[in-house]
Amino acid sequence: MRTHAETALSEGVTGIVAHATSRRPDELTPDTRLVDHLGADTQTYDHIARLVADRYGLPVDGTGLCDEAPTVGDVVTVVADSAARQAITESV
């Protein structure tokens, strides 16, 4: 079972991907492939990274995201991992 924070992050990141690809969030699933299904390119991934940085204050590299996140669910995972790393760094 996911926590409220995990659900909120997933919905927020899905909304960012939807915005960056001119889709509605309800059109996307965790298995939606950004390149194959949504036509994303490196500029799209850079846009997603900027939107994530603006919304969550997290450093996410668009090029790294492109390499690590072929699906919407993968983007959520990368952002969650980045948030966890930042939380650890800030607590030290």
Q: pLDDT band at 92, cuts 50/70/90?
A: low
* Per-residue confidence (pLDDT) for residue 91, from 0 to 100: 65
What domains, with CATH codes, occur in the chain? Answer: 4-91 (1.10.1200.10)
Please state whether the predicted TM-score (pTM) of the whole model is above 0.85.
yes
Question: Does pLDDT of 88 surpass 80?
Answer: no
The predicted-structure confidence for 26-62, as pLDDT tens digits, reads as follows 999 999 999 999 999 999 999 999 999 999 988 888 8
Count of CB atoms situated within 10 Å of the CB of 28: 21
> What is the rounded distance in angstroms from the CA atom of residue 54 to the CA atom of residue 57?
6
Phi, psi of 24 (to 5 degrees): -90, 145
Count of CB atoms situated within 10 Å of the CB of 87: 9
Question: Does pLDDT of 16 surpass 60?
Answer: yes
Count the residues in the chain. Answer: 92
